[in-house]
Amino acid sequence: MEITNKRIRHLVYERPEWLPIIEECLTVAKTVYSEFAGAWVYQRLLDKGLPGFSNLRMLVRNEILQTTHTTRGGKRAYYIFTDLEGAEETVRSLRAGK
């Protein structure tokens, strides 16, 4: 849990625009019971009027998400959180200003 906290805090410090993306990933992951497609997160962000993103590789590189598989000829990737509870706690803490 502590390592997830450090990874998310470091990423958000360097790239604050990723916080809403991580939050939306959490929302989708909880809604669909863990595994989710990046395209689902992208569409939800657009529906809320937030800017999209090109892909979730930044979160995979920072070991916040893990790719489980791809479909549609490699055009749609599915992800899971490496530590869902730790990510939720960190985002909640960041939003509370802690």
Give the list of residues 6+ apart from residue 66 with CB closer than 8 angstroms, or none: 60, 79, 80, 81, 82
Cβ proximity of 53 and 77 under 8 Å: no
Express each pLDDT in 3-20 by its tens digit.
999 999 999 999 999 999
Which domains does the chain show, CATH number per domain?
2-95 (1.10.10)
pTM: 0.90
Express each pLDDT in 46-98 by its tens digit.
999 998 888 899 999 999 999 998 886 667 899 999 999 999 999 999 999 87
DSSP-assigned states of every residue in 39-67: HHHHHHHHHTT----S-SHHHHHTTSEEE
Q: What is the dihedral of CA 1, 34, 36, 52, to 10 degrees?
A: -40
